Amino acid sequence: MKAHLTRRYMFSASHRLHSDAMSDAENATTYGKCNNPYGHGHNYALEITVSGPVDESTGMVCNLTDLDTFVEKEILDRFHLQNLNTVPEFGQAVPTTENLSTSIYDILQRGFTHAHLEKVRIEETMMNSFEYAGGNEIRK
Amino acid sequence: MVYLTRKAEFAASHYYHNPEFTPEENRRIFGKCNNPNGHGHNYTLEVTVKGEVDPRSGFVVDLKHLKEVLNREVLDAMDHRFLNKEVPEFFTRIPTTENLAISIWQRLAPKLTTAHLHRVRVYETPDLFVDFYGEA
């Protein structure tokens, strides 16, 4: 039988929202306080949902140790306590939480093979969150 | 269509062990969860039902009915229990969060008459939960 498993992780990082495609005035208008050249930070909560048939011999969709090990090495080591503007994944992209969601989704999609990736959800603050399922509809 | 979610909490102990695995395999796959004396969690359960709103009552489901079924079929059986030793389906099935969600669905689905079960969500801890939608 198919089940969905969601694991929640925390990481902290700083960023500055600034687009080279805009003038300074446009950047200031578009991003407001987030355009501060010195940056600012958040405690991000990351939820990763994977799915698959529950293995009868283990009772699991996938072994949590495999997911935790992958996330620690490929995501948390890369983003936790970093300035997102300096993380290569973003290149020239603005490190909004939208772009962070798609980057993290892509890292998992490329490298995590133990279960099917359903979606990534990120809370930037307690007041806003972002979900990405690779372009698929999000199931509630 | 309106979706309604009812939340409940229960506390239970469990351990993970497959008698077909060697002791080494059990330890490697299940880690600390393989301790035969068990360990416990405060589980949070969210049951979501869906249906059309009845024009006379304004309800999707009578919450009193949902609560009674939930108490009788799930909480009475699992709250303050050692799942492996006291809940029959876990005599043979490993009581992982995945299997708990499936088991709770199987206990509730046949008993809910006025609303359709949409999702069973079981939180083992605040940072780990499983959703089951009744899919084969």
- Per-residue pLDDT tens digits for A94-110: 999 999 999 999 999 99
Which residue has tokens 């389906």?
Answer: B89
Per the prediction, chain A carries an average pLDDT of 96
Predicted local distance difference test score (pLDDT) of residue B114: 79
Token output for A38: 């010195």
**Cα–Cα dist B72/A64, whole Å:** 31
Mean pLDDT of B71-81: 98
Residues of A in contact with B32 (CB under 8 A): none
Predicted local distance difference test score (pLDDT) of residue B75: 98
Predicted local distance difference test score (pLDDT) of residue A91: 82
Is residue A126's pLDDT more than 90? yes
Is residue A89's pLDDT more than 90? no
Give pLDDT tens digits for B22-56: 999 999 999 999 999 999 999 999 999 999 999 99
Predicted local distance difference test score (pLDDT) of residue B115: 83
Determine the distance in angstroms separating the CA of A9 from the nearest CA of chain B, rounded to an integer. Answer: 7
Predicted local distance difference test score (pLDDT) of residue A92: 85
Q: For residue A1, what pLDDT band results from cuts at 50, 70 and 90?
A: very high
Token output for A122: 């990120």
Q: For residue A90, what pLDDT band results from cuts at 50, 70 and 90?
A: confident
Structure ipTM: 0.93
Mean pLDDT of A67-89: 96
Mean pLDDT of B77-88: 98
Mean pLDDT of A44-57: 98
Cβ atoms of B130 and B101 within 8 Å: the answer is yes
**Cα–Cα dist B38/B61, whole Å:** 37
Active site residue B24: no
A4, A67, A123, A139: best mutation site toward chain B, by most B Cβ within 10 Å? A4
Q: Which amino acid is at A136?
A: N
Mean pLDDT of A11-24: 97
Residues of B in contact with A71 (CB under 8 A): none
Predicted local distance difference test score (pLDDT) of residue B113: 81
Predicted local distance difference test score (pLDDT) of residue B20: 97
Q: Output helix, strand, coil percentages for chain A, rounded to the nearest 5.
A: 35, 30, 35
In whole angstroms, how far apart are CA B28 and each of A20, A27, B95, B119? Answer: 50, 53, 17, 32
**Lowest-pLDDT range of A53-62, A81-90, A105-114:** A81-90
